């Protein structure tokens, strides 16, 4: 009788798993794992081809370590973490960085909205908390990326680049991702809105010791370019269509002005004329790109629906 009783309780207690994407974090990974173990049932470390002793330290600290055979990128590490969370039937998977910038004590705060059913994805925001504020250049970069990601996803969040997040089992099943780099954080926000998942934000504290690992401007531009590519695939009419129309109207307006000057003075305002031509041309090209991408997107959606229908009919 005792055993059965135990399993009954175990079955109802939500399984909370923490997963840490890790790349050369031997200095911090051990303490992050030890602190996280207090708040979860299991700690997984996705070692993304580290060349230092991160994997060994993580194993010593009691984490289950999965290793990528080479460095594939933060996004690849996050996708492996989500997959392991699915395979191990996590009710909640919390992803936390391995460099000590996130505080594992915030894990229960991220898990709570999922436990109460308020949300399927919870993002730990560095802009909601009272905690240590990140350096100005970081905040600026994060704000720009968040603004662009919000426009593309239709979700108004305060911190789209935060790596400290919690996912429900439903979110683990429905999030379909492909990015390998840091842009995965924005891709997840796009995927959340595509899957219609409920999202919530909670304040987290962050601590930054030492310099950033990468050149913030280069890194920011890299992520921004990926986010724009993701947006062009998701919302081509928004990203190309609207600017295209604006450019075309601007060019036509200038064109009318050229004609007006010409009708009044029989002189061709070359500069204005060339600018009008350039605006019209760019506008038409942008509109053309918008239509092309939109029809490709439509085509892919129809193919996917057909594929799903055949799949379901064969089952």
Ligand X SMILES: Nc1nc2c(ncn2[C@@H]2O[C@H](COP(=O)(O)OP(=O)(O)OP(=O)(O)O)[C@@H](O)[C@H]2O)c(=O)[nH]1
Name the minimum Å distance from CB 227 to ligand X: 15
For the chain, helix (H) and strand (E) counts, in that order, are 12, 7
Q: Which residue, 201, 165, 228, is CA-closest to 21?
A: 165
Q: Among residues 101, 149, 169, 186, which is the contact residue for Mg ion, using CB under 5 A?
A: 101
> Which of residues 91 and 103 has its CB atom nearest to ligand X in the complex?
103
Write the interaction track for ligand X spanning residues 111-150; mark x where CB under 6 A is met and - where it is not. ----------------------------------------
Q: Which residue, 78, 79, 95, 80, is CA-closest to 17?
A: 95
Asked whether position 213 contacts ligand X by CB under 6 A, the answer is yes
Name the minimum Å distance from CB 102 to Mg ion: 8
> Which of residues 77 and 276 has its CB atom nearest to ligand X in the complex?
77
Q: Among residues 16, 45, 61, 97, which is the contact residue for ligand X, using CB under 6 A?
A: 97
Q: Binding residues for Mg ion, how many (CB under 5 A)? A: 3
> Which of residues 84 and 234 has its CB atom nearest to ligand X in the complex?
84
Asked whether position 22 contacts ligand X by CB under 6 A, the answer is yes
The β-bridge partners of 124 are: 202
The item of ligand X, Mg ion, none sharing an interface with residue 163, based on CB under 5 to 8 Å by kind, is ligand X
Name the minimum Å distance from CB 212 to Mg ion: 8
Asked whether position 57 contacts ligand X by CB under 6 A, the answer is no
Q: Among residues 18, 19, 23, 166, which is the contact residue for ligand X, using CB under 6 A?
A: 23
Q: Among residues 98, 124, 241, 251, which is the contact residue for ligand X, using CB under 6 A?
A: 98
Neighbours of 148 (CB within 10 A): 19
Name the minimum Å distance from CB 99 to Mg ion: 4
Q: CB neighbours of 272 closer than 8 A, spacing ≥ 6?
A: 254, 257, 258, 261
Dist CA 73 CA 265 (whole Å):
62
Q: Among residues 91, 99, 179, 187, which is the contact residue for ligand X, using CB under 6 A?
A: 99
Dist CA 292 CA 151 (whole Å):
21
Dist CA 215 CA 219 (whole Å):
6
Q: CB neighbours of 214 closer than 8 A, spacing ≥ 6?
A: none
The β-bridge partners of 65 are: 45
Rg (CA), the chain: 25
Q: Among residues 71, 193, 222, 282, which is the contact residue for ligand X, using CB under 6 A?
A: 71
First-to-last alpha carbon distance for the chain, in angstroms, is 40
Dist CA 32 CA 101 (whole Å):
9
Name the minimum Å distance from CB 49 to ligand X: 7
Name the minimum Å distance from CB 308 to ligand X: 32
């Amino acid at each position: 009788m005792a055993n059965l009783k135990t399993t009954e309780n175990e079955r109802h207690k939500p399984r909370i798993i923490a997963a840490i994407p890790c790349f050369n974090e031997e200095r911090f990974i051990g303490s992050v794992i030890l602190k996280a173990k207090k708040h979860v049932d299991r700690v997984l470390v996705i070692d993304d081809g580290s060349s230092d002793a991160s994997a060994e330290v993580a194993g010593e600290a009691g984490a289950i370590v999965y290793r990528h055979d080479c460095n594939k990128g933060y996004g690849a590490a996050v996708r492996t973490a989500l997959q392991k969370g699915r395979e191990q039937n996590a009710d909640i998977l919390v992803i936390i960085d391995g460099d000590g910038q996130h505080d594992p004590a915030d894990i229960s705060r991220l898990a709570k909205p999922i436990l109460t059913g308020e949300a399927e994805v919870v993002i730990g925001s560095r802009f909601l908390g009272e905690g240590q504020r990140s350096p100005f250049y970081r905040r600026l970069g994060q704000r720009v990326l968040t603004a662009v990601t919000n426009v593309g996803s239709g979700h108004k969040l305060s911190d789209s680049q935060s790596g400290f997040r919690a996912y429900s089992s439903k979110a683990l099943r429905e999030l379909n991702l492909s990015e390998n780099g840091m842009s995965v954080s924005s891709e997840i926000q796009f995927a959340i809105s595509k899957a219609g998942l409920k999202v919530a934000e909670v304040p987290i504290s962050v601590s930054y010791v030492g310099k950033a690992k990468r050149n913030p401007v280069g890194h920011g531009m890299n992520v921004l370019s990926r986010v724009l590519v993701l947006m062009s695939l998701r919302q081509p009419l928004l990203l190309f269509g609207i600017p295209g129309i604006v450019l075309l109207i601007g060019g036509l307006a200038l064109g009318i002005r050229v004609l007006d000057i010409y009708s009044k003075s029989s002189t061709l305002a070359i500069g204005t004329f060339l600018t009008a031509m350039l605006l019209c041309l760019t506008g038409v090209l942008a509109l053309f790109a918008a239509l092309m991408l939109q029809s490709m997107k439509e085509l892919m959606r129809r193919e996917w629906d057909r594929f799903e229908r055949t799949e379901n009919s064969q089952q």
